[in-house]
Amino acid sequence: MKKGIMFFILIAFLTLLCGCQGPAANDFPESGSSVSDTRSHDRTETIYAFNKPFIEGEGCFEIETLDLPSELNSMKPTVSAVLSETQLLMLLYEEDPVPVIREAGVYDLVSGEYRTSFVLDEGRTISIECTADGLIVYKETDTASNTVSLNCCDWNTGERNRIYQFSPEYAHTSAFYNDIVSGDGKVYFDDVVTEEGKVAGVNLLEYDLAAKEVRLYRKNAQNPLWLDSGLSYICKDENAGQYYVETAGYEDRIYLDGNISLLASAGNELYSLHNESNDPNTNRTIWSIRSLPADEELLLASNAIDQLAANSSVVTWRNFTPEKPVIYLREQDGFTVLLEDELAYNTYLLGAEGGVLICSHDNSPTAYYIFSLT
């Protein structure tokens, strides 16, 4: 479940535009090492404690610099999603004085050509929710009324459709940060239910792309996820007072504890980002990434991490302290460093197997890389 605070919202956009750099960190600690105090960039330890071995990157992946234009259509571009091995979704913005997104389009890595998909209306902001089957699914917020709608756009033709108008209360609830997924010709999302002006629950909805109709998929369910076994979502066991993940057509449940901030699915695996506790030495929140079906902790972090993501090959996250870019290799069940000489705020945009690495620095330009598993 997505959770946002203003700091994270600003960093989410600005991490692609400006930079943060510190001196090189020492080698990563072995399993069982304590996480470190990160109040200064001049530290001698990483913020991570890993519970899986490190694997030599040579032979596991390929990575190369991604040279992107500094300007498109007289605006500044930022990468928003990986559409395919050769196509990136770009958002173009102007600084007015803060960044204001003006349009979205597709950038071809082979030809270097950019094609506009759609232009935003004045007074609107967007967030890209998912991309699949030639569609960009995004939420659009009217900044004057704070009303939110769900929309889709064919990234080849630019044809746009309004999927759904969320309830007025939606933008003020945690449901606003829930995942939205598409597949099998449908888009799955949730909205709050109100009774006498108060939020009484959340329902899972589906939008049929062919019929252009919204239907109720399941009452009292939210945050849709794709697993190999099918569409999954979060429900609440009212008797136990506990949330769990349920997959359509299956009776098995994966129960969730109250400290989970984010979920990421890949195959039939479900990964979670946990708010564990406060470090008694630094009074900072300790975060962890876990494999839920295996009930296994992969790593601990002594400073904030977010944007947990997974695909068929890797698990990634975003760090808010300069670190080497580390990823978890699912098949090898271990971690690896993508670039030994890069110390940065690292953001990942995943495709089907590999993805794009964005390294932001304090005092030098943002660097882009494209990586794939071998």
pLDDT in tens, 243-274: 999 999 888 899 998 889 999 999 989 999 99
The pLDDT tens digits of the residues spanning 169-183 come to 999 999 999 999 999
Residue 281 confidence (pLDDT) = 73
Residue 112 backbone zone (phi > 0: left; psi -120 to 50: alpha; other: beta): left
Question: Rounded to an integer, what distance in angstroms lies between the CA atom of residue 35 and that of residue 46?
Answer: 7
User: Coil, strand, or helix at residue 45?
Assistant: coil
Q: Give me the count of residues in the chain.
A: 374
Question: Rounded to an integer, what distance in angstroms lies between the CA atom of residue 305 and that of residue 320?
Answer: 6
Confidence class of residue 222 from pLDDT cuts 50, 70 and 90?
A: very high
Are 46 and 323 in contact by the 8 Å Cβ rule? The answer is: yes
Residue 249 confidence (pLDDT) = 86
Across 308-325, b (16+ Cβ under 10 Å) vs e yields: bbbbebbbbbbbbbbbbb
Residue 196 confidence (pLDDT) = 85
pTM: 0.86
Q: 306 Cβ partners below 8 Å, 6+ apart?
A: 8, 261, 262, 273, 317, 318, 320
Q: Would you say residue 236 has pLDDT above 80?
A: yes
Average pLDDT over residues 190-202: 92
Residue 12 confidence (pLDDT) = 40
Q: Would you say residue 40 has pLDDT above 90?
A: no
Lowest mean pLDDT among 6-10, 66-70, 126-130, 289-293: 6-10
Residue 3 confidence (pLDDT) = 38
Considering only residues 353 and 265, tell me which one the structure prediction assigns the higher pLDDT: 265
Considering only residues 326 and 248, tell me which one the structure prediction assigns the higher pLDDT: 326
Are 71 and 65 in contact by the 8 Å Cβ rule? The answer is: no
Average pLDDT over residues 196-222: 95
C-alpha triplet 164, 182, 116: angle, nearest 5°: 75
Q: Would you say residue 16 has pLDDT above 80?
A: no
Confidence class of residue 328 from pLDDT cuts 50, 70 and 90?
A: very high
- Give 346's strand partners: 359
Average pLDDT over residues 8-14: 37
Residue 89 confidence (pLDDT) = 98
Residue 319 confidence (pLDDT) = 97
Question: Rounded to an integer, what distance in angstroms lies between the CA atom of residue 35 and that of residue 29?
Answer: 9
Question: Rounded to an integer, what distance in angstroms lies between the CA atom of residue 357 and that of residue 347?
Answer: 6
Q: 50 is written with which tokens?
A: 């890993």
Domains of the chain plus CATH, in order, are: 6-373 (2.130.10.120)
Confidence class of residue 229 from pLDDT cuts 50, 70 and 90?
A: confident
Confidence class of residue 284 from pLDDT cuts 50, 70 and 90?
A: confident
The pLDDT tens digits of the residues spanning 59-78 come to 899 999 999 999 999 999 99
Q: 52 Cβ partners below 8 Å, 6+ apart?
A: 31, 298, 299, 328, 333, 334, 335
Mean per-residue pLDDT of the chain? 87
